[in-house]
Chain A
């Protein structure tokens, strides 16, 4: 069974603070993704990676950085959190050449 875990599951942050969301997969997948989910917008891709030590910008990368230190781990970093970044964040993974993505349970981020 494919497994993607995220930590923390919930976080409250202050405006201007730094936030790091972590994702770990045991699927042996090459591709990993970060999405945010907002009511009325569905899922939007922030950053993705198809190999360790390399990341790519998705459709809404502004205000976010990503880090892929190993095949299993992918982090999303908000250097200066803002109110508009309050959302649910999902990590996903997929195998090379296959588009089916396996999602984690999500992290609910509230920026005050």
Chain B
């Protein structure tokens, strides 16, 4: 079945540091890829998505590029802020799956000022 692997379970940074969260996927078809963000006490919300190879998704200074060759969709931000502290989930939706999402285990980002 489909799967998503996030390498980092937790990341601790200082403000203005560069962020990378690694996401690799396995899917039988040609999936759409997502990054969701979850702030404390809330449900996850969509950060952005990408649907085809080499497409870049971006929002709020975060970005990720769909790479079919390496089956990756790594999340990056050049300069993090304390307000970025949250849990980040990579997810995929296989196009034949009735819009089901498969999530990674999540990465907790903590940013100190």
Contact between B100 and A103 (Cβ–Cβ < 8 Å)? no
Residue positions of B touching A, CB distance < 8 A:
9, 32, 34, 41-46, 49, 89, 93, 98-106
Neighbouring A residues of B103 by C-beta, 8 Å: 42-44
Count of inter-chain pairs, beta carbons less than 8 A: 56
Q: How many residues of A contact B (CB 8 A)?
A: 27
A-B pairs with beta carbons under 8 Å apart, 5 shown: A42-B89, A42-B104, A45-B101, A101-B101, A106-B43
Minimum Cβ distance to chain B for residue A110 (Å): 16
Contact between B100 and A48 (Cβ–Cβ < 8 Å)? yes
* Chain A to chain B: the 10 pairs with minimum beta-carbon distance, closest first: A103-B43, A99-B93, A42-B105, A43-B103, A42-B106, A99-B99, A42-B103, A103-B44, A100-B46, A90-B43
Closest to B31 in A: A99
Chain A contacts with B in 62-112, Cβ cutoff 8 A: 90, 92, 94, 96-106
Minimum Cβ distance to chain A for residue B2 (Å): 10
